[in-house]
Amino acid sequence: MKNTTVALILSLTCALALLPSCNEEDTATELRWNNQQEDTVSEIKWVNYEDSSVDQTWSGSYDENAVTEFKEVDLLNGQGLAVSGGTTYRIVSDGERNFILNEGDSETLTIDGFDGI
């Protein structure tokens, strides 16, 4: 009986010790977009730059000040592509196209302006 109790306590301790790391792995990384410029954005894709595969898509009619819903992403190092007026826009920050997201965070990327002709 005594041995069984000790084994039970040890098992519970191990399970509790493992619990935080399990939770960490299960926490989803989320991303959303905040459109702070005047052109309507009809779609945004979060894309793997290696093979152009699409990890996540936000579709709608995002006018100025509109914020998309948070969506779970698997890709932590990706590129954003936005559609407005029938063409794509490369999403860049200080000339960089790749964005690295912190795993498990819910991040908002704010679109501040479009450069087009």
Asked if residue 88 binds another protein (CB under 8 A), the reply is yes
DSSP string, 27-66: PPEEEEEEE-SSSPEEEEEEE-TTT--EEEEEEEEE-TT-
Asked if residue 42 binds another protein (CB under 8 A), the reply is yes
Considering beta carbons, is residue 1 or 117 the nearer one to another protein?
117
Query: x/- contact string, 65-84, with another protein (CB under 8 A)?
Result: ---------------xxxx-
d(CA 98, CA 89): 14
Query: Of 11, 13, 27, 52, which lies in the binding site for another protein, with binding defined by CB under 8 A?
Result: 52
- Point out which residues bind another protein (CB under 8 A): 36-37, 40, 42-43, 45, 47, 50-54, 61, 80-83, 85-93, 99, 102, 105-117
